[in-house]
Structure 1
C-alpha cells in the first residue's frame, strides 16, 4: 500500500514538473548564443549564461540550459568569451565611415569594437545633425557617436586668429554648441594643445562647457599640455579640473599620458590630483591607448604654436622668414628634445613613401642637413605623420590600473593603434603583465566607457539593451599590426553582432554595414 502511495506521489511530482516546464513562455528569437563564457560587464567574473537576440535588442539572458527559446540561428560559443561589443571613446574614423568602402571600420570590428566616438581633440563637426544624416545614408560598419569640436566651432566663428574671443564671438560659439547638443552630440571636445584651440583661454572653455552641462553632456579634452610645452602636464590637469568644477560638467581626459622625458614619473602626482578632485565631487574619467608611442603630425609635434596662426600661407611664410630663423630653430630644437630626440620621431605616413619607416634623425643624416632644417623642409612639403616614442612603461602601467581609465585607440594612419589597440591591451596587460583581469579589461572597454560618455543601452549584456555582442577566442585574440606594418587586421573575434545583425561569422566578415548614429 505504501509503495502504491509513493508511486502516486512521484507521478504527481513528475506531472508538476512537466506542467511547470510547459508553462514557461516560449521565446522566438533571431539568435541564441549558448555554451559561452559570458562576461556581462556587470559582474567581476564570467557566468554560464545563454543570450537571446530579437531584432536589434537582447531579449533574454538565461542560465545556461534553462531558456525556452526557439531561435532561427543558434551560435555555439563553446570555449569562447561572450561579451558586450567594445566602445572606443577616441577615434578618427569619419573619413572611413563616410567612404563607399564596404570594409569601413573593419579594422575596429576585428578588434571587437562595435561603437566608435568621433570629433575628439576639438576637431569634431559643428553640424552634428548633418554629419549624422550623411553617416546614416551612407551606411556604416560600426555605431558612431559624435562630439562637437571646440576648435571647429572657434574656427567657424573667428578663424585661426591667435586671440581671445570677444563677448560677441563667445555668444556665437555658445549658440553653435547648444545646437550641437540638441542634435545629439555627447558633449564638447577640445584640443587645447592644437591650433586654434590653443589660443583660447580657460574662461572661454568654461563658458562653452557650461552650455554642455545644461544638456547633461561631457567635456572631453586633449589637454593644453601633456609635457612641458607650455603650462606643464600637472598644470594642464589642474586647468581641466578647474573647467569641470566651474562648469559642473563631467570631465573626460583624452589619451592620458606623461609625454616626454621631462615629465616621466609624474603619473603618480597626476593620479593624486585627479583622485583628490573626485573626492571633492568632481566627476572625472580618462581613456588610454596601450602603446609607448603617441601619433601626430610632425608640425603639431615640434612647431611652436605661434608659427601656425592664421592660414597655411602665413605658416609657411613664417618658416621662410630669415628674421625668425634663430627663434624658430631654438624652439623646434627644444620641442624635439622634449619628445626624446630625433631618433624618437618615426615617420609613419608621408607623400614620399621612401621616407616612411625612417626616423627624423636618419632622414637628416641622409640629406646632410641639420635635424631642424630637415624637419622644416618636410613640413613645407605637406603633412608628415610621426610616431613619437615618448612614454615610460611605468607611467603607462600606473594609468592602466586606475578604475576610472578606459580603453581607447586614438587611431590614426601610420600607427598600429588604429588596427590593434584592444587586443594589444588584452595580450600585453591581461595575459603577459597580468596588470588587469579579463573582467576588468572587458568592463574598461564597454560598460564603463558607455557610462562615462553618457551612452545608454549599450556596453552591457542585459535584456533590453542593444545587441552589440562579440564572441572571441581568448587564446587567439591578438594584435598583428606593429610599427613596421601598422595596418594588419587583428584576429580572434569569431562572431560579431551589431544591433542584432551578424557582421562577422566564424571569423569571416560578411560585408554588412549595420551601424547606427548613437545620440546622447
Structure 2
C-alpha cells in the first residue's frame, strides 16, 4: 500500500499514558490511517525511526503568541515548532484578541505588545479566526475568550464594578464567541482591570461556558501570599457552575510562600475526589515573566496605565508608594528587566543594579523605570522553588505548558531578552525530569503534553496517535532531546526532534524547519442542542 508518509521501525508513545510499543505509522491525506507492522508498505516520504520515539505533537494550552502579536509578525513560530509543539491555545490569562466591542479594546494587550505593530480588521471571534486562517501558521491555533478583553471593552480604563446592563452585554458577547468556535473562557485576575471582578461576575460567565461545554482557565488572583485563597476561589466557581477548570501556571512566588504550593496541590486533589473537573499547568523553570507594575501596591494601578503614571509623577503620592513597597515581601535582587520601551541597555539589568548605578533606593528605581518607559516593562523574576516545580510537573493532574510565545532566533536583534520557556519548556521536561532524573515516566510526560490537554480542551482527533486521528506527530531521539535556551542566552532552539508533522505535512524534516505551513484554526464543535 502507498502512503503519503510512513514512519517505520520506531517506538510509539501514543499520548494516552499506555505503555510504549514498537510499530509503524501510515498517513494519508493528513490523517493516521494505519498503525502496526507496515514493513512491506511504501510512501512518498519514508521516515526511518529506528532508535527513535514516535509521539503526538504537543498541545500548548497556555500560549501567548496571539497577544504578543507573534502569530502576525512571525507565523512560523519556530521556537515552538522546534520543541515539538503542533497546537497552541491563545486567549489566555484574561486577554484575547476577540471579541472586541471596538478597536480601542486592544489596549488590554498593551502590557505585552508595542501597539505600533498592531493593525486590526476584525471585531468578532469569527472574523478574528478567519484572519488567523489567512496567516497560514505552522501550527494549529485555537482561542479562548479573555475576560479582560470583554470587560475593558465595556468599562474602558475605569476600574469599577460592572453594571447589570454591561453584565448582559458581556454574556451576550461570550455566548456569541463560543458559538463562533472559542474553546472556552479565561481570566487574569491579578491584572489591574480584572482585580475588581467579583467571584459572582466570573461565575455568571462560567455558567455560559459550561452550557457550551467549554473550559474555564484562570490566572488566579494571587500567586504569592494569597495563593490558597485564590485557588479556593477558582475551585468554588467550578463547583457552583460545573465548568471544567484549568488553573494556569500554578506556582507559589517568593520564598516565604513556597510552603503553600503543597497545600494548593492538595486543594486540587481534594476537589477532584469530590467530582470537580480541575487540572493545572506548569512550566519547568524557577523564574517567572511578568509586568513590572505588579510590584506596585494595587491602588496605584487603578484606572489603568495613564492614571498609574500620573500618580507616580506626583511627589506626595510617590512617597506613599515607596513606603508601602518597602513593607513588601519581594526580594528585588531576583528581578531582571527583559523587555522595556526604553534604551535596550536596560534589558538584562537587575533592578538592584540600576538602583545602585543611579544611587537611589530600589523602590525609586522601579518607579523611575516605569515612568521613563511609559509603564511598558516586562521582567523576569527568579522567585520559584525547584522542589515546587518538581511537585507540579510530577502531579497526575498537571499538564506542561510554555506560558510563552513563538519566536525565531533573529528576534535576538531587537535586544529583548525573552524567557527561555519560549524556546525550551517541553524538551526540558523530557530531558531533565524523564531522562536524567527519572521522576516521571516517558508515557506519563508525553500524556501531559498531548492526550490530556486534548481531552481537557475537547480538541477532537488530536493529542493521541490513533487510526482516524489527524497526523500531528513528532519523531525524536530520547537520548538527545533537550532544551538549550538559558536565561542569559534564550535564543537557542531545542534539539533532538528530527521530524514534526502538522496535519501530515513535515514542518521539521531531519531536524530543520521546512517551508510548510500546515496549521489549521481549530474551532469548538457545536452540538445539536445549542440555541
Same fold (TM over 0.5): yes
The answer to whether the aligner puts 1:418 opposite 2:418 as a matched pair is no
Equivalent in 169, 173, 177 of residue 172 of structure 1: 169
> Which residue pairs with 1:442 in the alignment?
446
- The CA distance in 1 between the partners of 2:155 and 2:17, in whole Å, is 49
| Structure 1 position 400, deviation (Å) | 1.5
> Which residue pairs with 2:22 in the alignment?
48
SS at match of 1:349: strand
Structure 1, unpaired ranges of 5+:
1-26
> Which residue pairs with 1:366 in the alignment?
357
| Structure 1 position 99, deviation (Å) | 2.6
Deviations 1:197-227 (A, max 9, x none): 1120110000000011110001100000111
8 Å contact kept, 1:97–1:140: no
Alpha-carbon distance change, 100 to 262 in structure 1, aligned in 2, over 3 angstroms = closer
Structure having the higher Rg = 1
The answer to whether the aligner puts 1:99 opposite 2:93 as a matched pair is no
Alpha-carbon distance change, 213 to 366 in structure 1, aligned in 2, over 3 angstroms = same
- Greater length-normalized contact order (CA 8 Å, ≥ 6 residues apart): 2
| Structure 1 position 476, deviation (Å) | 1.6
SS at match of 2:380: strand
Matches within 5 A, 1:95-134: 95=68, 97-99=70-72, 101=74, 104-125=76-97, 126=99, 127-134=124-131
> Which residue pairs with 2:203 in the alignment?
206
Structure 2, unpaired ranges of 5+:
100-123, 406-416, 525-531
Alpha-carbon distance change, 416 to 471 in structure 1, aligned in 2, over 3 angstroms = same
8 Å contact kept, 1:91–1:120: yes
> Which residue pairs with 1:240 in the alignment?
234
Equivalent in 253, 258, 263 of residue 259 of structure 1: 253
Q: Scaled by the length of structure 2, what TM-score is found?
A: 0.88
Q: CA RMSD in A?
A: 1.5
8 Å contact kept, 2:220–2:247: yes
8 Å contact kept, 1:97–1:135: no
Q: Which runs of 4+ in 1 moved over 4 A?
A: none
- The CA distance in 2 between the partners of 1:431 and 1:331, in whole Å, is 46
- The CA distance in 1 between the partners of 2:277 and 2:323, in whole Å, is 40
| Structure 1 position 349, deviation (Å) | 2.0
8 Å contact kept, 2:94–2:188: yes
- The CA distance in 1 between the partners of 2:172 and 2:326, in whole Å, is 41
The answer to whether the aligner puts 1:469 opposite 2:473 as a matched pair is yes
Alpha-carbon distance change, 395 to 372 in structure 1, aligned in 2, over 3 angstroms = same
Q: Scaled by the length of structure 1, what TM-score is found?
A: 0.90
Equivalent in 256, 264, 275 of residue 269 of structure 2: 275
- The CA distance in 1 between the partners of 2:457 and 2:46, in whole Å, is 33
- The CA distance in 1 between the partners of 2:347 and 2:145, in whole Å, is 33
**Equivalent residues, number:** 484
SS at match of 1:237: helix
> Which residue pairs with 1:499 in the alignment?
503
- The CA distance in 2 between the partners of 1:281 and 1:122, in whole Å, is 26
Segment of structure 1 superposing worse, 36-45 or 113-122: 36-45
- The CA distance in 2 between the partners of 1:347 and 1:97, in whole Å, is 20
8 Å contact kept, 2:336–2:351: yes
SS at match of 2:63: coil
